[in-house]
Amino acid sequence: MESSEEADSKFTPDSPARRLIVGLEQRFFSSRMSQSSTVLLLGVLVGVAGGLGAVAFRWMIGQTTGLFFDYGASLFHGLGGYYTVLLPAIGGAIVGPFIYLVGPEARGSGVPKAMDAVFRLGGRMRARVGPARALASAVCIGSGGSVGREGPIAHIGAALGSLAGQLLRLSQTRTRTLVACGAAAGVAATFNAPIAGAFFALEVIVAEWTAEAFAPVVVSAVVGSVIGRTFFGDVPSFAVPEYGITTFSELPLFALLGIAAAVVGIALIVVLFRAEDLFSALPIPIYLLPVIGGLVVGFIGLYHSQLYRVGYGMIEQILLGHQTDLAFLVGLLGLKVVATSATLGSGGSGGVFSPSLFLGAVLGGILGTVFGDLFPNLASTPGAYAIAGMGAVFAATSHAPICAIMFGFELTRDYRLILPLMLACGVSVVIAKALYRFSIYNLALFRRGIHIELGRDAQLLNQITIGEAMTTDVITVTPQTPVRDIAHMFDETKHHGFPVVDEQGKLHGCVTLEDVHRAGPDGLGKPVDEIATHDLVVAFPDESINDGLRKLGLRDVGRIPVVSREDHTRLLGLLTRKNIISAYNQALMRHHTRLEETETAEHFD
């Protein structure tokens, strides 16, 4: 039975769409143009599509916002200002069933879905992904959901790039490139930030830098930015004064900002996914959870309307230095984390990019005000710290410092802050990675069993079980075996360790060559049970070899016994580093062989 992805990408042989596609294929691949030039041209086309997709999505958000907040004010006029409490819940009542019926890809942030398509699916997405994401996110944001528009825009652009690759039946490598092109174009268009859009696609979506992908992605970002400037004007996203640092002695204060930004970024990640777990545990249907999340956001927004939607108005107020009330800013910082977590944790649709920028601006405003009071002759204005804070919190949540620096620069076009911005982002990402393993995007995938942080090839470690890789022909010794006999066995077999198993087959421990050396000449007459290690780290046959590799590293040993989950004393085999390397190399060869065969078949089909 064919998958839904395959079904969505097929066309009847005699349809006009199929004939058009065949004609395009012949024009592209039968010409004298090099394959790199062809992909570059496709990057231009995908850039146009991604830019127009961003424009259309922002128009949809404007329409839904007017529908909910303008029409809602007249519809619920009897409630006074309290009507806004209901709007996010009504939006959730629409978004929840829509996502449940149409497709789970529209749930949450769109960036992890695009990363997954690149990482596991050869760049392939279902044709319905773009429209479903656009509708769900537009309703969620327009009704007051405390999420961003950039993640959905990146997802929509990526889906358009994937669709182009599938329609032209391109190889997986080229389809992945077009996915990155679409994401770059969408982000560049909405932010008027072509450099940041390109780095976002390469550093976050693709997570690797290749010469083949770089040029098409950059071209798509430029084209997308041109589309955005045509519709939105050639202006930065935030109009701010010309800020600069007072002296280089101020740089340590921006380093402190980077440390604080790492803490705030990790807090957003932890609270967001803890909220997802809490909502999932509620005894109500999954498609009704966004209603509960909407009510939470509604009550918060009743007293802090700045937390509705993307919150760019408040960001600009902080950047301009018009909002320096510390108590107010501290309240916004905590409530934004709660509002965003409630929206996305309950199953809403939107991005975490804008919330990261919002939190960074608020944090920068807080620390900039504090530093100004403590060091009046040293610290710059709070707006300068807000700009650096925006980049630093995004760097902490995304683990993409280059992209964060470029965004901070292009959003304001203030080059004089590039040094403190780079310092804050660099410190933030280093601290964030040291304190927490995952970015906000990687964690979303990890919770689905996709270990993207390991790299594309290393993902194979999670696809091979220990039962497939382990050695079952294991040499064992009994607890009563003299140590001198064990020493002879090490010399004869060249092994470095043996499991200790009694006559009933019960595992007692493991003895290693190092144990024998520690026993010394005086211990040669002892039974091996006295020198063996009994506090064992064991593995189970249904675990992945990646789990086994981590367990080997836990004790810095070269082998671990594999036992039954039902009876931890029942030895099933032995897992060694050699087993892992051999199984991984074989799986890697099979993977690359299949990939080459697929790409060859797709090219000559």
Neighbouring CB atoms inside 10 A of 117's CB total 26
Which H or E run includes 149? none
- Dihedral-angle region of residue 139 (phi above 0 means left; psi in -120 to 50 means alpha; beta otherwise): alpha
Give 484-520 pLDDT, tens digit per residue.
888 888 888 877 788 999 888 889 888 888 888 888 8
Neighbouring CB atoms inside 10 A of 370's CB total 15
568: three-class secondary structure by DSSP: coil
Number of H helices and E strands in the chain, helices first, is 25, 4
Give 79-134 pLDDT, tens digit per residue.
777 888 899 999 999 999 999 888 777 888 888 888 888 877 778 888 888 888 99
CATH topology of domain 4-232: Clc chloride channel (1.10.3080)
Residue 30 pLDDT class (50, 70, 90 cuts): very low
User: How buried is residue 4: exposed, middle or buried, by Cβ count under 10 Å (0-12/13-18/19+)?
Assistant: exposed
Q: Which of 450, 365, 435, 433 is nearest to 398 (CA)?
A: 433
| Interval 442-447 mean pLDDT | 83
Strands 507-512 and 559-563, bridge-based pairing: unpaired
Instruction: Check: CB of residue 158 under 8 Å from CB of residue 117.
Output: yes
Q: What is the 3-state secondary structure (H, E, C) of 295-331?
A: HHHHHHHHHCHHHCCCCHHHHHHHHCCCCCCHHHHHH
Distance, C-alpha 130 to centroid of its chain = 19
| Whole-number pLDDT of residue 602 | 43
Q: Which of 398, 448, 395, 458 is nearest to 421 (CA)?
A: 395
- Distances 24 to 30, 31, 165, 173, 387 between C-alpha atoms, Å: 10, 11, 12, 19, 46
In the chain, ranges of CATH 3.10.580.10 domains: 461-586
CATH topology of domain 461-586: CBS-domain (3.10.580)
Distance, C-alpha 418 to centroid of its chain = 26
pTM for the whole thing?
Answer: 0.73
Give 388-423 pLDDT, tens digit per residue.
999 999 999 999 999 999 888 887 776 778 899 999
Partners of residue 181 on adjacent β-strands:
none
DSSP 8-state symbol, 335: H
In the chain, ranges of CATH 1.10.3080.10 domains: 4-232, 248-454
Alpha-helical segments (H) within 478-564: 483-493, 513-519, 545-555
CATH topology of domain 248-454: Clc chloride channel (1.10.3080)
| Interval 75-81 mean pLDDT | 76
